[in-house]
Structure 1
Amino acid sequence: MKIAVVASPVTPLRPAQQGGAQAFLCDLATGLAERGHDVRLHCAEGSDVAGVRLVMVPAPRDARAALVIPGGAPPPPAPGVAAALEAMFDAIAADRVDAVSQHAFDALAFTLARGLPVLHTLHLPPIVESVVRAAVQVEGARLATVSASCQATWRSAGVEVGELLPNGVGDEPVPAKPDHTALIAGRISPEKGIEHALAAARNAGLAVRIAGAPYDPAYEVDLSATEQLGSLTRRDLRLVMARSAVTICAIRWEEPFGMVAAEAQMAGCPVAAYRRGALPEVVEEGVSGYLAAPDDIGDLSHAIRRCLALDRAAVRASARRRLGLGVAVDRYEKALERAAQ
């Protein structure tokens, strides 16, 4: 098939990603291309994705204003982002593709895709009203999301999402001896519960390393007592996960998937997380991690301690069985074939 994969023009796609959705769609585009499909990845200028043809538009000057901040105000109108999306869809329409895998969480993307053989993937819950209004106009068979939990939140908002397409992560063994340090990874933003993770790790007697970059400019958190690694490439992050005793996901919102948790397990690192959003779907409790009552730091500390006793080979085996990239690409391949009909 000739497939257009559409990324949000708000951020370039790079080896060190800001979010799990961006990381996954790079893997998806590359995976589809490796299977012989003619793939074009439409993205912002400055993107760097090996193994796939990139069709880039100039990076919008108002991109930062258009970032979706969970729990924050709706993003204001961004004419530059709108122009970038219009350029993307003009190129797709002229290219006469068989299917479009659309991942931009922007109401205009739904409008511009009308009449195309499109499958929209909703990587976020229904937290932006304009996107909800746009999605409700799309038939359910052309909407997908990444977890049963996220699918349920969209249904409660009046949007029927027909396709369930969980993300997947690559299976790349990274042998390493774990130390007595907990990892907090991902964007540095309030909904990630970094203060809770720090407190729980301290209660459990572990040092903490942080891998990630600031996302919400209004958010401040004291990281002075941690080892700060900044934004890492996927390969480097996997190595850090392999040598960390546990990865803590103290999420404070309805996490739609949890790529950090999936990546950690694939590296053999158990996950301690709040039982919220899609984490019960991503973590095999008692095998690859333990879940705690939401917002209960004491219970999260207990989950961390229990994770230290888990068999790391079993953690990785669980991830390989449930969370592999190959199965995720299989699902998309079939869903895009249906979208093309």
Structure 2
Amino acid sequence: MISFVWSPGEPLPAGTGGSENFTVGHVRELNRRGIEARVVTIGLGTADGRDEFDDIPFHSVATLGDVERLDDTLVFASEAPRTTTVHPAYQILHVPPPLRDHAHASLVAGTQDRTLIATSRYAAALWADFLDVDLDTIHVVYPFAEPEFAIRPRPGSGAEVTRVLYAGRLTPEKGIYTLLSALHTDLFDSDCVSVTVTSAGSDKPQGALIQGLLRSHPGIALVPARRTPAEMASLLAEHDVVVMPSNAQYWHETFGILSIEAQHAGCRVVASRDGGLPETDCGALVLVEPDDAEALAQGILTARRLGPVPEHERADAGRRFTLVDSVTGLLDVLEAVPAPTPSRVIHALEELMSLPSATEPHPRAGADASGTRTAADHAAAPVRVVGSP
């Protein structure tokens, strides 16, 4: 049994982010292959989000201590609580390291006994530096787009209006304020560009506040967040350009699953040239300088000039970052001989340091204080002639 352990005390929400989609998609695909997999939640009973996932097995435990006793292969899918496990465990690093120093020690402690998995090469390097571990010890398992995105038909589009979609969470780090600034540049003409924003993340206080701002903006159509791959694929197919203006001042997108979903669905993506977003290129990616409203506006106009993604390019995009490839990559990590975790390396070094020191060398007979034989010793030594009888 492969159990993906969700954050203690938090339900697994549907349609709110890459880590949720990654977890649910992996469980679904593993079960399809006949490999038992499930989501484990902590401290919530059945009110843990399972109602939104009819085809995903859930298992709820009361405390973190109950997780310690599970005889499963445990993959911690979000937070890294410090706990022991029956078998070697794994930690997926979905988000960037925290900014505040006080979180450093707890994360080092929570991950030191786990095999680490990042979602991009960029994220692996970021976490290796933060945790002070060898980059080669962090595996990369890329996220994916569900098959639904590549096969969703695209309805006809009016050539006069480019339909732009922002579907990230309503938080500053996802770049929503950069988008609002871009809309106020003189580059935008409401007759040629329309903008739609989803309510993803509005269930949090910060998101609710931003949603209120968006409702009052005359140039934005606010629509409900989509909760399933099929719903999201339909929404993407109704748009031409998806924007991902991720903030690079204090947040670095580790990958950006929405980027590959959008490209599979036939959209062009305008994203910040930061973090793992450049690694999401499926052939329809336009990169712009982060935190720059003018650059974002220019990127949208570039995508408009490029026009619709040709069918053969969309088909090629759909063969990259697939669910099958992602799950196969995860299984390769789970089935490999685990490399020493940071904790085991430290323990081995501590054992080495605790060994008694080697005894001091004793001078040989006939040697001076430095251990070197004297000239008199050499003169008195018998001479052996090579080849003599």
Judge same fold: TM > 0.5, yes or no.
yes
TM-score of the pair, normalised by structure 1? 0.80
Partner of 1:281: helix, strand, or coil?
Answer: helix
* Structure 1 equivalent of residue 335 of structure 2: 337
Contact 2:278-2:287 at 8 Å conserved across structures: yes
CA contact (8 A) 1:262 1:323 kept: yes
In 1: Cα distance, 2:132 partner to 2:78 partner: 17
Indicate the larger mover: 250-259 or 36-45: 36-45
Residue 37 of structure 2 aligns with which residue?
Answer: 39
* CA distance in 2 between partners of 1:131 and 1:35 (Å): 38
Partner residue in 2 for 1:5: 4
- Work out which of the residue numbers 168, 173, 183 in structure 1 matches 2:165: 183
Across the aligned residues of Structure 1 and Structure 2, the Cα RMSD in angstroms comes to 2.5
- Give how far 1:10 is off: 4.5
Quote the offset at 1:274 in angstroms: 1.1
Partner AA of 1:288 in structure 2:
A
Contact 1:201-1:207 at 8 Å conserved across structures? no
In structure 1, the residue matched to 2:262 is 264
User: Within the alignment, does 1:85 sit opposite 2:64 as a pair?
Assistant: yes
- Check the 8 A contact 2:19/2:78 in 1, yes or no: no
8 A Cα contact 1:118 1:340, kept in partner? no
Q: Check the 8 A contact 1:250/1:273 in 2, yes or no.
A: yes
Equivalenced residues, count: 304
Q: What residue ranges of structure 2 are gaps of 5+ in the alignment?
A: 340-389
Percent identity over the alignment is 26
Q: Report the counterpart of residue 166 of structure 1 in structure 2.
A: 142
Q: How does 1:246-325 map to 2 (within 5 A)?
A: 246-252=241-247, 253-284=251-282, 287-308=283-304, 309-310=306-307, 311-325=309-323
SS at match of 1:322: coil
> Cα deviation per residue 1:12-42 (whole Å; 9 max; x = unaligned)?
234x322210111000111111111122321
Q: Distance in 1 between matches of 2:113 and 2:142?
A: 17
Report the CA distance between 1:101 and its aligned residue: 1.6
Distance 1:306 1:129, change over 3 A: same
Structure 1 pair 42/140, CA: closer, same or farther in 2 (3 Å)? Answer: closer
Match for 2:173: what amino acid? E
SS at match of 1:239: helix
Alignment of 1:44-55 (within 5 A): 44=44, 45-47=48-50, 48-55=52-59
- Note the residue ranges of structure 1 that are not aligned, 5 or more in a row: 58-82
Q: 1:314 to 1:254 in 2, by over 3 A?
A: farther
Per the alignment, residue 205 of structure 2 pairs with: 217
SS at match of 2:95: coil
SS at match of 1:321: coil
Seen in structure 2, the aligned counterparts of structure 1 residues 216 and 283 have a Cα distance that, compared at 3 Å, is farther
Task: State the alpha-carbon separation in 1 of the partners of residues 84 and 314 from structure 2.
Answer: 39
Equivalent position of 1:143 in the other structure? 116
- C-alpha deviations, 1:264-291, integer Å up to 9, x for none? 111111100110111100124xx31200
User: 1:245 corresponds to which residue?
Assistant: 240
- Secondary structure (helix, strand or coil) at the match of 2:243 reads strand
SS in 1 for 2:142: coil
